[in-house]
């Protein structure tokens, strides 16, 4: 069962490995966007195995307060901030966001790129880069879009086997 194993993604610049743990993949799988359903999404939390190795262990959402459309999802900053504070007390860092696209090979839309950039700028966090994961209709390292947003750039990570 592929989704019981973690999936790893890597970029060389910045040098980082991101591991999506099985619970996260399971959450993605149960929120895959098919038929006429609206976009789903939420936040990602986890820990740092080392400064260059991020373990994503929790995916949340969608929250009731989110505005969900076929091709767009508006998160709710107040709800999200409460969740960030709550998980921080339990030792989980906020790492970024995820949302769905109803296709097998998702890529970020222009709006996704703008949202990602402004969210990085506006949110209170101590991250040097924030994760953005786009979940298509298949949960594999080839079909998930995993990127890191910093102040200026959204870098795509590649799926790797470790
Ligand atoms: Zn999108």
106 has a pLDDT exceeding 70: yes
In the reported structure, the alpha carbon of residue 12 is separated from the centroid of ligand 1 by a whole-number distance in angstroms of 24
Q: Is 148 contained in some domain?
A: yes
In the reported structure, the alpha carbon of residue 107 is separated from the centroid of ligand 1 by a whole-number distance in angstroms of 7
Question: What percentage of the chain exceeds 70 in pLDDT?
Answer: 95
pLDDT number for residue 1: 47
31-88 pLDDT tens trace: 999 888 899 999 999 999 988 899 999 999 999 999 998 888 888 889 999 999 999 9
| Euclidean distance between CA atoms 159 and 162, whole angstroms | 10
Q: What is the CATH number of the domain that holds 35?
A: 3.40.140.10
Length of the chain in residues, anyone? 162
Exposure of 96 in the CB half-sphere (CA atoms within 13 A) = 27
Which residues surround the ion ligand 1 when the cut-off is CB under 5 Å? Answer: 109, 112
In the reported structure, the alpha carbon of residue 147 is separated from the centroid of ligand 1 by a whole-number distance in angstroms of 12
| Euclidean distance between CA atoms 79 and 131, whole angstroms | 19
The answer to whether 122 touches 155, Cβ cutoff 8 Å, is: no
The answer to whether 21 touches 6, Cβ cutoff 8 Å, is: yes
In the reported structure, the alpha carbon of residue 108 is separated from the centroid of ligand 1 by a whole-number distance in angstroms of 5
Q: Which of the two residues, 35 and 10, has the higher pLDDT score?
A: 10
In the reported structure, the alpha carbon of residue 99 is separated from the centroid of ligand 1 by a whole-number distance in angstroms of 6
In the reported structure, the alpha carbon of residue 37 is separated from the centroid of ligand 1 by a whole-number distance in angstroms of 14
Residues 121-150: what's their mean pLDDT? 89
| Euclidean distance between CA atoms 16 and 14, whole angstroms | 6
Residues ≥6 apart with Cβ < 8 Å to 3:
22, 25, 26, 29, 139
Number of domains in the chain: 1
12 has a pLDDT exceeding 60: yes
Q: Is the dihedral of CA 54, 55, 59, 65 positive or negative?
A: negative
Which structural domain, as residue segments, surrounds residue 95? 2-157
- pTM of the entire predicted model: 0.92
Q: Is 69 contained in some domain?
A: yes
Q: Is 162 contained in some domain?
A: no
Q: Is 71 contained in some domain?
A: yes
């Amino acid at each position: 069962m592929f989704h019981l194993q973690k999936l790893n993604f890597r970029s060389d610049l910045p040098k980082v490995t991101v591991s999506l743990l099985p619970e996260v993949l399971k959450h993605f799988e149960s929120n895959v966007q098919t038929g006429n359903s609206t976009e789903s999404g939420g936040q990602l939390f986890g820990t740092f195995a080392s400064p260059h190795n991020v373990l994503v262990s929790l995916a949340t959402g969608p929250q009731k307060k989110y505005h969900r459309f076929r091709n767009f999802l508006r998160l709710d900053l107040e709800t999200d901030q409460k969740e960030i504070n709550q998980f921080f007390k339990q030792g989980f860092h906020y790492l970024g966001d995820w949302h769905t696209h109803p296709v097998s090979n998702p890529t970020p839309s222009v709006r996704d790129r703008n949202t990602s950039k402004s969210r990085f700028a506006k949110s209170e966090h101590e991250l040097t880069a924030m994760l953005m994961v786009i979940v298509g209709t298949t949960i594999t390292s080839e079909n998930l879009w995993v990127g890191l947003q910093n102040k200026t750039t959204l870098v795509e990570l590649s799926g790797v086997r470790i």
